[in-house]
Amino acid sequence: MSSLERQRAFLDYTLASLVRRKAKNGALVLAYALVVFLIASVMFFSRALRTEGQAVLAGAPELVVQRMLAGRFDTIPASYADSIRRIRGVSEVEPRLWGYYFNRAVGATFTVLGLPDFAHADDEIVAGPAAAKAWTNLQDGRYLFRTFKGDSTGFKPVQVLPEETRLVSADLLIMSETAFRQVFGLPEGQYTDLAVTVRNPQEMQTVTEKIQREHPDTRPIQREEILRTYESVFEWRGGMVIVVFAGAALAFFIFAWDKATGLSAEERHEIGILKALGWDTADVLVMKFWEGLAISLTSFLLGTIAAYAHVFLADAGLFAQALKGWSVLYVDFPLSPVVSPTELLALFFLSVAPYTFITVIPAWRAAITDPDTVMRAS
């Protein structure tokens, strides 16, 4: 009998033995697959979110300069932009206008942007997809705003940003610079912050230090830091969900450990008979190895396929809110299917290898005992 045929014979025997206890083994595969499913889902989802965040924010401003006043974020005068523009290595400084508007009628906060080169009129507005749906206080189809003076002003919606961009634009309201100053009462020459472009990325740290030296009341934020923030947010959230599931995973591991390391009387009896029939200890171990592999590999494949379908085909309905975040304006966004091969390989080895090997140990203990003793003891 060839070696391959011999292994297949072991596999045949093992599978027939598993089928004899199908209810017990079926429940084990289901519970095992469920644990793999939960861990893989969090892993896939968290990776996809991180990749999405990094890809989308790759074009964020290279350096944002805020002004701090009494420890809080304050507006920045245009003179700061002029002096930063003179720093060697800086190619462009763009003063930005943005802020928040709390809409009492809706009970939600919106992000408002004021653009100097707004393509529409001063009484017109461009809305993000969630903002367009949520804004309910309209008068003659115009968005009503309460200005800093307390009077109302209306803006005609002329465009809704594409639904696909909602990950970055859901709550945006874009208006002209004039309209922004009129609504919020921000004086001319004052801006929210500055977006700085540096000619050579290698000089970013030097430019940042120069800005802080010239303007000690500023806080520069580099794009790297923005990207790092989201990396850590999604890692943290993934970790939180794993912690929530840790109880279930631990319960399963105790069950699997107990099942794998403690042989039932029936299994001991079976090993005793096999030994009495002339099986070697090595044969029993190979049989047990196939048993562990059959259960863990099937569970891994079932759990991983279910997790992939759950995250990328069914929008991760089970825990999307915990990982994405939520708010008064509910931001729902699609995710691209991105899986890290390293993480998948780690999941494979962590789910398949331990179970396969722990099933072998008790079988080895039973297999090295005299068959007569094993059968009598069972």
Partner 1 sequence: MRPSDAFLAVTGGLGFILAGLLAGYPLADAGRRDARLALESQLVAELGLTDLCLSTEARYTRHLSQADLFSAFQDHPRSLEHFPSGALLPPPAILTALGGPVGGSDVGEDRP
**Is position 210 an interface residue for partner 1 (rule: CB under 8 A)?**
no
At residue 77's C-alpha, the angle toward residues 71 and 81, to 5°, is 110
Of the ranges 51-59, 274-282, 356-364, 367-375, which one interacts with partner 1 (CB under 8 A)? 51-59
At residue 150's C-alpha, the angle toward residues 148 and 156, to 5°, is 80
Q: How many residues bind partner 1 (CB under 8 A)?
A: 87
What six digits make up the tokens of 305?
A: 């396929």
3-state SS, residue 312:
helix
Question: What minimum distance in Å lies between the beta carbon of 347 and partner 1?
Answer: 12
How far does Cα 124 stand from its chain's mean position? 37
CB atoms within 10 A of CB 319: 20
The one among 29, 170, 260, 366 contacting partner 1 by CB under 8 A: 170
**Is position 242 an interface residue for partner 1 (rule: CB under 8 A)?**
no
**Is position 25 an interface residue for partner 1 (rule: CB under 8 A)?**
no
**Is position 82 an interface residue for partner 1 (rule: CB under 8 A)?**
no
**Is position 237 an interface residue for partner 1 (rule: CB under 8 A)?**
yes
The one among 224, 266, 280, 370 contacting partner 1 by CB under 8 A: 224
Question: What minimum distance in Å lies between the beta carbon of 357 and partner 1?
Answer: 19
**Is position 189 an interface residue for partner 1 (rule: CB under 8 A)?**
no
Question: What minimum distance in Å lies between the beta carbon of 279 and partner 1?
Answer: 18
β-partners of residue 152 are 146
Q: Which residues between 254 and 293 bind partner 1 (CB under 8 A)?
A: none
Of the ranges 59-67, 82-90, 147-155, 254-262, which one interacts with partner 1 (CB under 8 A)? 59-67
Concatenating the DSSP letter of every residue in 156-177 gives EEEEE--GGGHHHHTTEEEEEH
3-state class percentages of the chain: helix first, strand second, coil last, to nearest 5: 60, 20, 20
Among 322, 347, 316, CA closest to 48: 316
**Is position 328 an interface residue for partner 1 (rule: CB under 8 A)?**
yes
